[in-house]
């Protein structure tokens, strides 16, 4: 079972590690759904020694049948991580612009790829600045890494598996905003609603602040309130598998290392017009 120290690191602790003899590899994964590109933020200032890795082109595959942010091609991912200096079994810290979304998806992708020692900087770049830590505009040229991508180290749901969870084989969590879950609005995808049987738990309910998950005991309570008890299989989805990765990180913090991500999420589900779509609130489960 993973502990908080295996998953998260705060700015003071990271600064101490970076001052040591064998610091972790830093990946800047700042990203916005609607742009502009995070690389522009990186060029304006980043943690010293950090290398920018693009979520859209390196950590995810191109949009298509698998949704807006499908799994990356393993060879493409391996090449990008090696270019960023990621070494086999060497610690990695990922950070984003503060909301924790891209960092969580980067954490999940590296863990799925078999690289276990990866943590998220709590609060991201803003937390580093708020702690008075130095930044840099130089673009480092790290020595090539030797990480080997071995897909499948974390569980993944496809549409069929998600449907089975939602139908009673476990708990499928829809972590989007309630109005999107209910189908009252859909600002991104062409169809509104949710997977029938999915339970709504907005990812904001799992956070103490931007990019800052609640303590483990509080997370367990939030998950239990929607039926995620010990022994209940659990998976999460959102619009395209980015926000849901933050929920999977929270599940790991709560002790659920078996939590699965529906990577394609809603953008994949609605790709097949024969799949059912539910709207409104799900009835309470007895």
Write out the catalytic residue numbers: 238
**How far is Cα 169 from Cα 37, in angstroms, rounded to an integer?**
39
Contact 244, 204 (CB under 8 A): no
Burial class (CB in 10 A: 0-12, 13-18, 19+), 243: buried
CB atoms within 10 A of CB 283: 6
Q: Which two tokens stand for residue 63?
A: 């949009």
C-alpha distances in Å from residue 136, one per residue of 50, 92, 125, 165:
9, 19, 12, 46
Q: Which two tokens stand for residue 245?
A: 């990765």
């Amino acid at each position: 079972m993973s502990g908080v120290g295996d998953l998260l690191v705060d700015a003071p602790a990271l600064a101490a590690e970076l001052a040591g003899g064998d610091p972790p590899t830093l990946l800047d994964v700042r990203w916005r759904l609607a742009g502009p590109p995070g690389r522009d933020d990186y060029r304006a200032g980043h943690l010293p020694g950090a290398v920018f890795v693009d979520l859209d082109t390196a950590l995810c595959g191109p949009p298509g049948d698998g949704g807006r942010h499908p799994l990356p091609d393993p060879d493409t991912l391996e090449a990008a991580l090696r270019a960023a200096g990621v070494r086999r079994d060497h610690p990695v810290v990922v950070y984003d612009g503060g909301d924790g979304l891209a960092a969580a998806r980067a954490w999940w992708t590296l863990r799925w790829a078999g690289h276990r020692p990866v943590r998220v900087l709590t609060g991201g770049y803003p937390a580093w600045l708020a702690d008075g830590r130095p930044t840099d505009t130089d673009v480092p040229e790290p020595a090539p890494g030797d990480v080997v991508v071995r897909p499948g180290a974390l569980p993944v749901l496809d549409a069929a598996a998600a449907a089975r969870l939602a139908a009673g084989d476990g708990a499928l969590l829809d972590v989007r905003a309630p109005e999107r879950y209910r189908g009252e609005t859909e600002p991104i995808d062409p169809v509104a609603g949710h997977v029938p049987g999915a339970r709504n738990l907005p990812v904001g309910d799992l956070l103490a602040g931007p990019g800052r998950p609640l303590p483990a005991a509080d997370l367990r309570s939030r998950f239990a309130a929607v039926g995620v008890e010990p022994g209940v299989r659990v998976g999460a989805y959102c619009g395209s598998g980015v926000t849901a990765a933050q929920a999977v990180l929270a599940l790991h913090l709560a002790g659920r290392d078996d939590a699965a991500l529906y990577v394609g999420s809603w953008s994949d589900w609605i790709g097949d017009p024969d799949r059912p779509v539910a709207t409104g609130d799900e009835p309470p489960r007895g």
